């Protein structure tokens, strides 16, 4: 299975990665034209019926946490929803027809995308947290990020209400980069279909990953958020991976044995695991360790005896833990992920992301480290 970020996500969001004013409605002329479109069509459209949006339970609680207190998850509309029809209109007929189409269909909700189950699981955790800590602002806070103009916002809001999502914060950039806004939101994780923007976020120290749409998707838990991480170049730095790429597997094992008691440096997703662990401890403190609605996994191609001990000692020294650790010694990750059924799995190698997708698991690519320069080949073993 090939998961090219352009081909696979084609149809997700009609705005291309780079949006010149002449093609994305950012110019004054096209914006005023689209205003006329809205005025001529909005009054004639009646909303379609959908699920009734349930009221928020906020007795004594806070449901708009300050960004600096919350675990802020920024999700692109390209991965939260699917917009294949809109993509075709944009590509074949241009921006003005695209905007007209969006207004004419603004009461028709988009279908769920690959990040949708993850977002729903975050809301499940929030519900449990509010029950135990009604006044706490330590919650997941979701920000919808899109290259679209605010003109398309009505349809996005209608879609969010239709699917009963609790997303109140929007960032609609009109074709410009969202990275500056992500920093202002104190973003802890950014999920997008745009690898370049994900790389920009990583360079700014924001945990980020590229998500893909797969034809097959297994069912995931509706009561427990499950997040799985690769080790090297995800939770840890790519130090050991560099040894493997340069000198082979034997030198990698030798290096790990010699440095067994030397901590690995942190990787781009370490901070997110840290935040998950912090929320888990809030449940543990109330006696909910066994039924905690957050469960974390380390899924690594490292072997336990030869190189796994360094990874475990590093996590322990950081004061972190994963609920489960799978050391696969080079075995395929897909079958294990099919059993775990994570809401999201993070890996720095597309080879493993593709393998997960083949099994229907939801996977995200972290474009970080030496593996981006030397992609994994099926005929080659891997250290991580």
Round to whole Å and give the CA distance between 276 and 294. 7
pLDDT at 377: 54
DSSP string, 171-220: EE-TTS--HHHHHHTTEEEEEES-HHHHHHHHHTT--EEEE---S-----
Q: What is the CA radius of gyration of the chain?
A: 22
For residue 78, give every residue at least 6 positions away whose Cβ sits within 8 Å of its Cβ, in sequence order, or none. 9, 12, 13, 113, 146, 192, 193, 194
Round to whole Å and give the CA distance between 375 and 89. 35
239 burial type by CB count under 10 A (0-12 exposed, 13-18 middle, 19+ buried): middle
From first to last of its 384 residues, the chain has per-residue pLDDT tens of 445 443 343 333 333 333 333 333 333 333 344 344 444 444 444 444 444 444 444 444 446 888 889 999 999 998 999 977 887 888 899 888 888 898 899 999 999 999 999 999 999 999 999 999 999 999 999 999 988 777 788 999 999 999 999 999 998 887 788 999 999 999 999 999 999 999 999 999 999 999 988 888 899 999 999 999 999 999 999 887 777 666 667 777 777 777 777 889 999 999 999 999 999 999 999 999 999 999 999 999 888 877 788 899 999 999 998 999 999 988 999 999 999 999 999 999 999 999 999 999 999 999 998 778 766 654 333 444
Dihedral pair phi/psi, residue 191, rounded to 5°: -115, 125
Residue 95 contacts residue 29 (beta carbons within 8 Å):
no
Round to whole Å and give the CA distance between 256 and 259. 5
Which residue matches tokens 């009604």? 134
Could you tell me the pTM of the whole model?
Answer: 0.81
Q: Which two tokens stand for residue 218?
A: 């297994």
Round to whole Å and give the CA distance between 303 and 352. 16
Cα end-to-end distance, the chain, whole Å: 21
Q: How many CB atoms lie within 10 A of CB 57?
A: 12
Residue 291 contacts residue 223 (beta carbons within 8 Å):
no
- Which of the residues are catalytic? 230
Q: Which two tokens stand for residue 57?
A: 């339970």
Nearest alpha-carbon partner for 68 in 194, 181, 185: 185
5 burial type by CB count under 10 A (0-12 exposed, 13-18 middle, 19+ buried): buried
Round to whole Å and give the CA distance between 221 and 329. 28
Largest CA-CA distance found in the chain, in angstroms, rounded: 72
Q: Which two tokens stand for residue 37?
A: 């479109």
Round to whole Å and give the CA distance between 233 and 371. 8
pLDDT at 248: 66
- Secondary structure (3-state) at 39: helix
């Amino acid at each position: 299975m090939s998961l090219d970020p352009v081909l696979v996500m084609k149809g997700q969001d009609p705005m291309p990665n780079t949006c010149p004013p002449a093609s994305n409605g950012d110019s004054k002329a096209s914006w005023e034209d689209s205003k006329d479109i809205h005025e001529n069509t909005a009054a004639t459209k009646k909303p379609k019926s959908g699920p009734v949006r349930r009221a928020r339970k906020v007795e004594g609680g806070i449901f708009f946490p300050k960004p600096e207190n919350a675990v802020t998850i920024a999700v692109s509309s390209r991965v939260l929803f699917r917009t294949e029809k809109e993509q075709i209109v944009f590509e074949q007929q241009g921006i003005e027809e695209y905007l007209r189409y969006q207004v004419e269909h603004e009461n028709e909700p988009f279908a769920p995308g690959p990040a949708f189950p993850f977002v729903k699981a975050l809301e499940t955790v929030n519900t449990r947290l509010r029950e135990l800590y009604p006044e706490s602002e330590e919650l997941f806070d979701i920000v919808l990020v899109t290259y679209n103009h605010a003109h398309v916002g009505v349809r996005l809001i209608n879609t969010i209400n239709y699917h009963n999502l609790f997303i109140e914060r929007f960032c609609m950039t009109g074709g410009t980069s969202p990275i500056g806004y992500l920093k202002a939101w104190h973003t802890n994780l950014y999920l997008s279909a745009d690898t370049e923007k994900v790389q920009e976020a990583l360079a700014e120290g924001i945990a980020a990953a590229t998500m893909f749409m797969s034809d097959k998707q297994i069912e995931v838990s509706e009561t427990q958020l499950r997040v799985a991480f690769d080790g090297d170049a995800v939770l840890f730095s790519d130090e050991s991976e560099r040894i493997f790429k340069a000198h082979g597997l034997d030198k990698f094992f030798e290096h790990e044995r010699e440095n067994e008691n030397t901590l690995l440096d942190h990787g781009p997703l370490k901070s997110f695991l840290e935040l998950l662990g912090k929320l888990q401890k809030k449940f543990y403190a109330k006696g909910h360790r066994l039924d905690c609605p957050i469960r974390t996994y380390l899924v690594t191609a490292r072997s336990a005896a030869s190189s796994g001990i360094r990874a475990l000692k590093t996590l322990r020294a950081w004061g972190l833990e994963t609920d489960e650790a799978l050391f696969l010694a080079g075995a395929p990750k897909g079958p294990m992920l099919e059993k775990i059924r994570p809401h999201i799995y993070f890996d720095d190698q597309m080879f493993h992301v593709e393998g997960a997708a083949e099994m229907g698991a939801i996977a995200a690519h972290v474009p970080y480290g030496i593996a981006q320069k030397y992609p994994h080949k099926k005929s080659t073993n891997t250290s991580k």
